[in-house]
Structure 1
C-alpha cells in the first residue's frame, strides 16, 4: 500500500510574496489563510532549505490550498522564454463559472498570455472544454477552464463565486513511461482517463505549433483535485533544466501520507532519492522530470 490519501495542496516558489498575493487575490479570487510565516521546520529540512530563510504564504481558493514559498537568498530565476513543452511546466487548472467574466477580471492585471487568441473551445472528442492559459508574475502557468457538462461540471456546480477552486494540476513530462511508473507504483495513483489532444484549438491553447499531446488524468484515493500529465509527442523539447525547491520555477504537489517513512523506502527502492525531515514525518521527492512532490504525515 502506498499510504497516499489525497492532494492537500500545491506549492510554488516565488520572488515576492506581496506581489504574488495581490495577483492571486485580485485576479483570481484567492483568499489569505494566514499572514506570511516561517516554513515548518520539517518541510524546510525535507526540501533542503534548512540553511536559508524560507517564508510561506498560504492561500485558498474554495476548498483548495496553494502555499507560496519565498527563500532568502533566492534561487535561480524562472528560465527565459518558457513554453508549454518545458519539463518544469506545471499549471493549476481553475474551473470558472463564467469564462468571459473571469478573463475580464484577470485582464485588469495584464498577465502574460500563453494561449493565442483568448479562450479556446476544444473539440468534443477531447472533452469540449473552454480553456485559457497564462502566467503569474513569476512565470508560473495557470489555466482557466469551463466544463461543458458531465461529472467534471457536476463536481463544481455548487461551488460559490466566479473562480471555483483547483480541479487539477498538470505537469509536462518527457518520459511518460517513467512518470506513470512513479505515480502508479510507489505513489499508488490510478489512471482515470487518457487521450491524445491535437489540432488548431490545442495549438492556440498551448501557444505551440501543431501539437500532439498525450493527456492522462491520475487520481489519488481521494480523487479531487488530481494529477494530469501532458506528454508532447510533437513538438519535442531539448530543454532539460532541473530546478530545486528554492528556484523560482519550482512547484510541488503536497500529498497527505499515512506512512511517510514507508513511502520513502518505496521511493528509494524505485531508484529515486527522497529526502526526509529529521523526524521522518515529511518527505520530499523530485519526480522523473524534476517536479516536486511533498508528503506530509496525515
Structure 2
C-alpha cells in the first residue's frame, strides 16, 4: 500500500512523551490550547505496533494541531548526545510576531536552548527571518520563527500563531527529494544556509546546510529537508514509542504508518480526514 499513499495535507504532529501531564503543561505555558487525556484506540495501537495501552492529549494553536502520546510500554528517552544535524532531528517551526518574547516564555517554562544566542536574524539569502531553536523539557526540538513584516501572508496576528513547517535532517538529500516527490509533494526553491548567523542558530561550528522545501497539496504546514554537509550523524533507528519518534499525521483515505529514507515516521489517518470533512460541512 505504501507506494499508493500520497502526502496530501498535514493534519498535525504527534510527539511521544514519558510524562503526559508535565509536557502538556509546558505547551500550555507557551500558548497551546490543551485538551484532556483520552485513550488511544486499540486499532491505532495495533497500527503503531505497540503492545498495551496508550493515552493522548490533543492540543491546538490556531489551526495547527499537536498531539501528545504516552504509552504503557515506554520507549527510550531522547538521546542526550544530539545536535541539530542528527538524523533523528525533526522540529516544527512555530510562527510568532516576537521571537524574543516567545523564547523567554518557553525558557521560563523549562525549554532548553539549541541556539547559542538569543533569536538570530538570518540574512536575506537565508530567508531573512528571526529564529531560535530550542528543546521542550523532554528533548523534542522546536523553532520560533518571526517573518519580516508583510513577508508571509499566511501568518497575521500577535503571539504564537501556528506551525509553518516541520524540518527534518536527512542523510541523503537526493534520495529524500525523490521519496517526497514520489509521494506527491512539490519541491520549492532550495536555499544554502551558512555563516555566523546559521552557526548561532544551529549551535554547530562551521555549519553548511542545504534546505529544500517540499510542499504538499495543502499548506501550511509544509516540510523542509535539511541536508547538513559533512555533519549528519546517525543515532540509530527509532522505535515508534521512543521519545524522539515524532510523527507527521496526514489526512488520508487509508490508515497506515510509513518511514521516510531516514526513519522519520508518517502516519496516514482516515479519522483525521473524516474529522476535517465533517468540520467543513
Q: Which residue of 2 aligns with 1:8?
A: 11
SS of the residue corresponding to residue 209 of structure 2 reads: strand
Misfit runs of 4+, over 2 Å = 1-5, 40-43, 149-152, 234-237
The superposition leaves residues 3-44 of structure 1 with CA deviations (integer Å, 9 ceiling, x where unpaired) of 542000101111101111110111x20011x31111133322
The superposition leaves residues 198-219 of structure 1 with CA deviations (integer Å, 9 ceiling, x where unpaired) of 0010011001011110111111
Q: Which residue of 1 aligns with 2:46?
A: 45
SS of the residue corresponding to residue 190 of structure 2 reads: strand
TM-score (norm 1): 0.86
Map 1:239-254 to 2 at 5 A. Answer: 239-254=234-249
Distance 2:174 2:117 in 1: 33
SS of the residue corresponding to residue 253 of structure 1 reads: strand
Q: Is the 8 A contact 1:210 1:235 kept in 2?
A: no
Q: Pick the aligned partner of 2:217 from 221, 229, 251.
A: 221
CA RMSD of aligned residues (A): 1.5
Q: Which residue of 2 aligns with 1:267?
A: none
Go from structure 1 to structure 2 and tell me whether the alpha carbon gap of 1:44 and 1:151 turns closer, same or farther (over 3 Å shift). farther
Question: Does residue 192 of structure 1 match 2:193?
Answer: no
Go from structure 1 to structure 2 and tell me whether the alpha carbon gap of 1:81 and 1:172 turns closer, same or farther (over 3 Å shift). same
The CA deviation at 1:183 is 0.9
Q: Is the 8 A contact 1:213 1:234 kept in 2?
A: no
SS of the residue corresponding to residue 80 of structure 1 reads: coil
Unmatched 5+ stretches in structure 2: 274-281
Q: Pick the aligned partner of 1:203 from 199, 206, 211.
A: 199
Aligned residues: 268
Map 1:35-114 to 2 at 5 A. Answer: 35-49=36-50, 51-114=51-114
Q: Which residue of 2 aligns with 1:272?
A: none
Q: Pick the aligned partner of 1:162 from 156, 159, 162.
A: 159
Go from structure 1 to structure 2 and tell me whether the alpha carbon gap of 1:77 and 1:104 turns closer, same or farther (over 3 Å shift). closer
The superposition leaves residues 87-129 of structure 1 with CA deviations (integer Å, 9 ceiling, x where unpaired) of 1111010011122222222231242100001110111111110
Map 1:262-277 to 2 at 5 A. Answer: none
Q: Which residue of 2 aligns with 1:30?
A: 32
Question: Does residue 287 of structure 1 match 2:260?
Answer: yes
Distance 1:4 1:235 in 2: 28
Q: Is the 8 A contact 2:125 2:191 kept in 1?
A: no
Q: Which residue of 2 aligns with 1:176?
A: 173
SS of the residue corresponding to residue 180 of structure 2 reads: helix
Q: Is the 8 A contact 2:16 2:241 kept in 1?
A: yes
